[in-house]
Structure 1
Amino acid sequence: MRRSRTALRGAAAAITAAGAVAIPVAAGTAYAGTGQIPYQCQIFGTRFDYNATVTVTAPAAAKVGDEVSVDVDFSDLPGVAPLPVQKWTTSGSVTVSGAQSGTLPIKAPERTGPVPAYGPLPIGKVSGRLTLSAPGDVGLAPAGLSILADAGAQATIACTPVTTPAPLATIKVEEGGQDGPDASVEPPTVVQGGAFTVSGTGWRPGAADLTLCDANGAACEPDDLTGVTASADTAGRLTASGSIAESAAVGARTLIIAQGAVTKRLALTVTEKVTPPDGGCGDKPASECGEQKINLTVNGGPLTMSRQPGEVDLTPVTLNGTEQNATGSLKDVEVVDARGGTTGWSLTGTLTDFGSAAGTKIPAGNLSWTPRCTAGPGAGTVTPGSAGALSTTTAATLCRAPDGAGKITGGTFTADAGLDLKIPPTTGAGRYTAILTLTLS
C-alpha cells in the first residue's frame, strides 16, 4: 500500500483508538485469542457502534526470520446500508508490540452478496503475513478496519477502536539459526500439465502444503496443482513435487509453501500448453521446409503511483458576511499497474482540517471533490469515485480499477479531481493549509 501526501492551501476531527479484550487461549501450535472490541464506525456522515467479537490466530512459537500467518476473524458488521450490498472488500491492520513493533496490514479477498438492505455484513477472516525480526514475546492486537462496499455505488466504512486494544495473541519468538526456511523451485517456468520440484532447508520435520496463487500471492486455486507431495526430514530438508493442472491460469504466479503458520513464497511462471507446430511443412522433407517455435516470457512489475509536483492553491476569497466558495483542482496522480495479474486497485483519500497560524480551523468536511479518472492507451477499466465531502477518518475513493474477473488488468491511469471548499462567514482571516493523504492499495 502506497501513500502520497498533498498540501492544500486556501481557506481544511480525529478519532481515537479503542478496545476491551478477553484472555487468549493456546491450542496446539496455533495461538487463538478472542475479545470484545468496541469500534466506532463511519459511512459518509453517519456514525454507528460496532461491538465486534474478534479472534486473532497466530503460531504460539516461531523463530527469528520466520514469516508467519496472522488471521483476524471479525463478527458481522451491523446492517447500516440502505441498499443491498453486492460485494465488499475488507482491509485493516494489526498492532505489533513487544519484541518488535509496528503495524501489520491485513486484507481479505473480495466477497459477494447480495446482503439485503440493513442486513448484517459478514466480515470473517482478514489475514496478513508477518516476518519475525527479534527474539522475545510479540503481541498482536486488532486495530483499524475498513470495508469498501458496493451497493450500486461505492462507499467506505471506516472503523476505529474506541480505546487501544490489548494483544489478543502472543508469539514466543526464539533465535533462529538462519533467516527463516529456504526453498527454491525447478524449473521456474512450467507449462500447463508440466511437473516441478521444490527443495529447501531450515524447515521443521513433517508435512508441508503447496498452493498456487496469483502473482501477488492472492486468489489461490487449490485445483491448480495435482499430485502434490511435500515434507521435511529430521534435518529440516524439504522435498516436494507436483504438477501444474492443465486448466491453471497462465502468467506470473506465486507458489506458496506452508508449514503451520510459517510460509515461503516462490515466483513461478505458468505457460500455455500448445500443440507443437505442424505448420505448413506437413510431409515435406527437412531440406525443403523447416519450422521454428518462438517463445516469450513476460515478467510482472509493481503497482505504483506518482503525482505532479507542487501544492494546490485554491482561489482566494474576501470575507463579505456570507458563505463563499474557493475552488481548484488536484495535481494529477499517475497510477501504473504493471503486475500482469487480475487484481484491481483503489486510490482513496483522507483530509486533515484546514488550519491557520492563528489556530482557527475550517473542517475537512467543508471540502468536496469531484473525481476524474482516465485510462491510458490499451489500459483496463477505471471508474471515478463518488463526488462528495472529504473526511479526516473515512477514506473517500478517488479512482478504482475493478478485479479482472479472469481477465488481465493493468496499464497507466491518470486521476485528479475538482475541489470546492465552503468558507463559513465566521472564518478568521489568514492563510489555511490542509494535508490530503492519497493511498493506493
Structure 2
Amino acid sequence: MRGKRVPKCFSGISERINSVSLDFSAPDLLNVRNQWAMKGCQVIRRRRPGVTGLLAACFVLSLGCVGAAAPLPPYHAKAAAAAAGTVTPTVHCTLPAGQGEATGPQEMNVELSPPVVAPGGKVHARVTLGASPATSAIALDDVPTIPSLDLAMSGGATGTVTVRGAEFTMDVPAGQPIEIPAYEGDFLVPVDASGEISLAPVRTLTQTKVLGSVFETPCDVVGDVGSVGTVTAEGTTSEPATLTAPADPVRPNTSVKLRGSRWTPGATPVPSLCAAGGGGCDPLKFTSNTLRIDSYGTLTGTATLGEAGAVPDGGYQVKVNDGTKEATAPLTVKAVAAGNREISLSSDSGPVGSVITVSGRNYNPDRWINIIGLDAAGTGLDDSAVYVKSGADGTFAVEFTVISDAVAAVQADEGNDPATVRTLPFTVTTEGGGGGGTAEQRLTTEVRAGTLSMTQAGDTVDFGTTVLGTDTGTQQARLNRVEVEDARGVNSGWSLTATLTGFRSADGNTIPADAVRWTPACTARAGSVGAPVAGSPAALGSEAASLCRMSPDGSRPFTGGRFDADAGLTLTVPEFTRPGDYSATLTLTLL
C-alpha cells in the first residue's frame, strides 16, 4: 500500500473515523453538499405455478456521567409507579489518554419500571447522575457522547446488567461540574430470576468521540452502596435463547463466528462485548456484524471485533440481544504478541526518486508504524516521512520515496517508541558516468471534479416458481450487481440504500415486502481509495435499508473509485397465498 506523507510531528496520529447515518430527516438533507442523488429500479418478479415467466493527544474530554434521551412509556400492566432510589457513593474515575485519575462523590438516581416482570423480561431505567469528579480541561462544542451505568443484582437474581443511553451531542464547559439531563435505557433480567431483585450501581462509563476516536472514562463505585431500586420477577418465561462463540482465543480486528437457537424469529440481533463478570457491555467494541435470525429462531453470522487498542487482551462475555431475548457466551481475546521486530527493503540502493517498499513483521497489531529517511549523520529527513498501520497479524508494507541524495538509511518505529526503532542502510546511486548538468521544466495540468453515479447489471430478479403445499416456500435469488463510481475527489462519503414495495398480482393479491430478506456485500475495485462497508442483513420494506456505504476517512485526503455492491435475496412465500404472477419494485438510492 502507498503510505501517507506527513510531517514528523504527526507520526503515529490515529486515523479519523466518522459514522454516517442512513436515516435523514428533512433538516438533515438541507445540509448535504455537493452530493448527487440517483435512483435505479429493479423489478422483482414472482411466477404463479404452471406459468412461464491536530495531534491526537492535544486534549481529551473526560466525563463521569452523561445522558439525554426522550422517556419511554412503561410497558407492563402492573406499572402503577416506578421503583426509584438515590444514593451518593464515592466514585474513582480513570481519565483517558493517561490524564490521571479523579475521585469524589457522585449522586445517582435510578427509576425502574415496571415493578413486576416475567423472568427474562425487559426493565426500563431512567438514570439521573449528579456532577462527576471527572471534568474537561477545555470547553468543547457538539461532542458526541454515549453514557452507560452498570447495576449489580442481588436477591432474586445475581450478576450485572448495563443501562446504555442513546448517543447525543452536548456542549461541555471548561473546568466546571457538568450538569447532564437524565438518560434512559432497557435491560433484561435473567431468565432464571425469581422474586425481588435489588439493584445497586457499581460503575459508570462515558464514551466521547473526539478527533475521530472513541475515548472512555470509566468511574467505579468505591465500597458498598445501597440499592437504587427493586424489580420483582414472577411468572413464566419462554424457552431461553442459546449462544455459542469460539472456544479458542480470537484476535482483535477479526470476525468472530456466533451461533445460537431459540431466538425471536426475524428479530435484529445486536452484539456487545462485556466484562467477564457481565457488566460494561459495549456494542461499539464490535465494528460491524452479519448476524441474522431466521424464521426458525436460529442465529448465524459473524461480528467483527475492534482494533487491539480498543479491545485489550483478556477474558470477556459476548452478549447478543434481539430486543426480546439475550444470551451470553465466554470469549477470550488475544492479540499477536510482538516479537523481535524486523524490517526489510525491496531494494537497498537506487537513484533519487526511487520508490521502494518497506516491510515489517513481528509488530503489535493495529499500531501506527512511522517510516523516515535518515542522512549520514542519523538526522531524520522530515519531508520523507510516511506512516502505515500494522495488520492483525503484526505485519506491514508501505511505499517509501527516496526524496534526495541525502538519504543514507531508512528507519521504522512503532508509535514513536524508541525501543522499537529499526534501521537499514540505503545507498543513493547516480545514472551514467556523471557530469552533463541538469535542467528543469515545469509541467502543469488541471483536474476537475467528476460526479457520484451508479449503474446496474440488470433490472429484473426472478425468484422462480413456488408450488404451494410441496415446497418450503423459500426461494433464493441475487440482486443484480450495482457499480458505484465516485469521481468527485472529495472526502464526504456516500450511501447506497434500497426500499421495496409489496408484491402484487394482476388480480390484486399481495405478498408483503418484508417476505424478502437480503444479505448485502460490497467491495472496492483495484485502485479505488477507501474501504466500503456492507449493510446488515435485514428484511426489506418501505424503510430504507443499507446496501453499501463509504464513510469519510480522516486518514486520507479523499475517497473515490469504483465499488461493486450486490446482495443475496431470500423470498419466503406465506403458506396461504393466492396463485398468480407477482411483482414488486426495489428502488436503489445513492446519496
* TM-score normalised to structure 1 length: 0.40
> Which protein is bigger by CA-based radius of gyration?
2
Comparing both chains, which one has the higher relative contact order based on Cα–Cα distances under 8 Å and sequence gaps of 6 or more? 1
* TM-score normalised to structure 2 length: 0.30
